[in-house]
A = this chain, B = another copy of it.
Amino acid sequence: MTRTVYEKTDVIPLVAEALRDLGYEGASFSRITERTALGKGSLYHFFPGGKEEMAAEVLAHVDAWFATNVFRPLEEDEPQAAIAHMLTAVDDYFRSGQRICLVGSFALDATRDRFVGAIQRYFVRWISALCGALKRTGKDADTAKHLAEDAVLAIQGALVLTRATMDNALFSRALKRIAISLGVPSAIKTQRRQTKT
């Protein structure tokens, strides 16, 4: 029997993927074990607080990723470039719609109430970071606010629809339209046809 030894840094992404796919309620220890090959012993070793602690740390991990790769650039870097970078980062992170947003999925059911703070902070910061960047490109406050809100909302909606319709191209199509509305039309490349020329 092969026995793999992990560190916490390795464990969180594995658990995150299980929670993302199964949802908080659907993610039982046995199912997490199936997907991650981490036994109950290991799981409780890393997360003595059980499932709730697991989910809290996973949320923090997601938030940290977005803070580094999306929020901070939007808040501090040259806005045009940061907005374009947000779109490619989002496309990568959500694997062009094949992966869903863990935070968004937690928001939809009663799980939200366990993690209200983290969930609220994530989206509020995303919208206001994007709004700030848009203002720095010269948009007025009102326009910036609603463009930012619409962009984040469209990303979430596109993730829902991609999974629901099984139309894998939907997410990229939506992202391209978001790019246009945010004034960075070239940020998302048109999917190239597989032709021989």
Contact = CB atoms under 8 A, between A and B. Distances in A.
A109 B153 CA distance: 19
A156 B161 contact: yes
A114 to B, nearest CB: 11
A124 B165 contact: yes
- Interface SS of chain A: helix
Contacts of A21: 109-110
**Size range of the chain A interface in the assembly:** 35 or more
Interface stretch (A3-11, A85-93, A170-178): A170-178
Contact of A163 (B23, B24, B112, B152): B112
Interface stretch (A41-49, A66-74, A99-107, A130-138): A99-107
A32 interface: no
B120 A164 contact: yes
